Structure 1
């Protein structure tokens, strides 16, 4: 009896130690990621400032740069505004009649773009998974459909965006809702999002071994049961690798869609407006581009956090799109 109690206590102590070790490992991993990201931002800032400092010291764009020994573009405050000026611009109102700061403008525009990207992201997941499941059904379908899926990504997005917006302006009387311009931008985001989901989703669905599939067949499992109980769980690491790419692509698609189509309210339109007034305030354009970059980093980080929790406790794989 005493031995059993001692064994139970020892097991509880071991489990507690394992949990503490895992918490410390997760904390170290988070700290390491933060340090690496901060070091990257600092290095990029130093490179920007260093290039600007050397470029401003050369009054002739055709002169060779020191050390490099070759001609490089000269710089000035208009071409490359100081980082301090870009950061201080976030607290200044870009409009005289509006007390709202540039940071608030960028935040609200980022939320608008995030909404467009979210709907495009969800639609891209649905479309990509549907194509992956369809190609999984038959090798003939895969060989016939995959080339078109790949070719679809070679068409310039800036050429497709205005067409989609024009289609969106058509009066669809059969729709149970009013089609808004931002929905067309979501379609553009879907166009970039579905590709990695379709390709990596198919790879993940095909990842179970032949022995595992034979085992499901021996249980007389249907195709749907095999898909839900074997293929989908096996494809989760592959899908998260695709989702991280798709999340970033949805932001890019939404911004490009806003710029190409002129849809207002988002950060793409903000970039377009500040680019047209670049000579009077280059810092605003740089600040809006930085806001777009932060938005992309945030959505990528959210998917990474979801991946960490979804794959917790299972062996990690290294799927590559």
Structure 2
């Protein structure tokens, strides 16, 4: 007997959230793969123009500029260097682990700084009014411009190069945590704060027993953004650092040989993306362990003060 459409929709909605997320993620990846190959097929069929027009396509579809997806995957299991024994996947995996060290350190420092800044702002409206414009303006500075300065200053201070890269990573991580934590700390209703004060609770007790627990559901969406931002910051920071390892170095190296081996660069981009996805997945796992599903907020925080 065929089930009505409403019952099918209801049964699909009963799937656990993590399964729905996995299915959605898989479908998006498949759709992007189909779009990639369809665009390549169209360009090769029409001679590099839009069908029915003489307008050229924005990206060339030959194998030197846009290789097939299966060629990119196959390149991951071939030697990374000519005459070498180590396959590209292992080389990129080692580079990803090195980059993850800087990204994780920057994530921890930046998140702690951002959360501490939010607590300071909630306790001192004067500090918020005076410093919030500078916090926002800090994110308008091009990271590629300040990364070399941070690396040079870190070297002059005797910091290991990877730690200087972590500083750049933390620079991108603190902002979403600070803004969304501030929103979360302000989320308790006024009646709850008044009830705490009626029991002679100190400001410290109000903070630790009311405001911080209320802010946790707002904190984790920001931590997911901070996780991806820390990976981006670590990769950008590795570019001027002169490191011989790391995803930033791999991207720079394979970009110089793009015309002869574009699959390697796309493979490095793929591993960089996977590193960000894995990092966000670890934060999401911590969220599921610590925050009940009924208390979670949207994954994309509203940066409102």
Relative to the length of structure 1, the TM-score reads 0.85
**1:217 corresponds to 2:197:** yes
The C-alpha deviation readout for 1:82-102, integer Å capped at 9, x for no partner, is 111100011111123431110
Say which of 10, 33, 43 aligns to 1:55: 43
CA RMSD across the alignment? 1.9
User: Any conservation in 1 of the 2:181–2:219 contact (CA below 8 Å)?
Assistant: yes
Aligned to 2:4: none
Aligned to 2:84: 98
User: Any conservation in 2 of the 1:89–1:284 contact (CA below 8 Å)?
Assistant: yes
User: Any conservation in 2 of the 1:109–1:265 contact (CA below 8 Å)?
Assistant: yes
Aligned to 1:146: 132
- C-alpha separation in 2, matches of 1:48 and 1:41: 11
**1:66 corresponds to 2:51:** yes
Helix, strand or coil at the partner of 2:239: helix
Give the CA deviation at 1:313: 6.1
**1:248 corresponds to 2:248:** no
- C-alpha separation in 1, matches of 2:164 and 2:92: 21
Judging changes above 3 Å, is the alpha-carbon distance between structure 1 residues 80 and 234 closer, same or farther for their aligned structure 2 residues?
Answer: same
Give the CA deviation at 1:118: 0.4
- C-alpha separation in 2, matches of 1:263 and 1:100: 20
- C-alpha separation in 1, matches of 2:294 and 2:19: 23
Aligned to 1:272: 252
Say which of 33, 37, 54 aligns to 1:45: 33
Give the CA deviation at 1:68: 7.1
- C-alpha separation in 1, matches of 2:163 and 2:225: 21
Helix, strand or coil at the partner of 2:139: helix
Relative to the length of structure 2, the TM-score reads 0.89
Gap runs ≥5 in structure 2: 1-11
- C-alpha separation in 1, matches of 2:54 and 2:33: 23
Helix, strand or coil at the partner of 2:288: helix
- C-alpha separation in 2, matches of 1:295 and 1:56: 32
- C-alpha separation in 2, matches of 1:28 and 1:219: 41
Gap runs ≥5 in structure 1: 1-23, 173-178
User: Any conservation in 2 of the 1:121–1:250 contact (CA below 8 Å)?
Assistant: yes
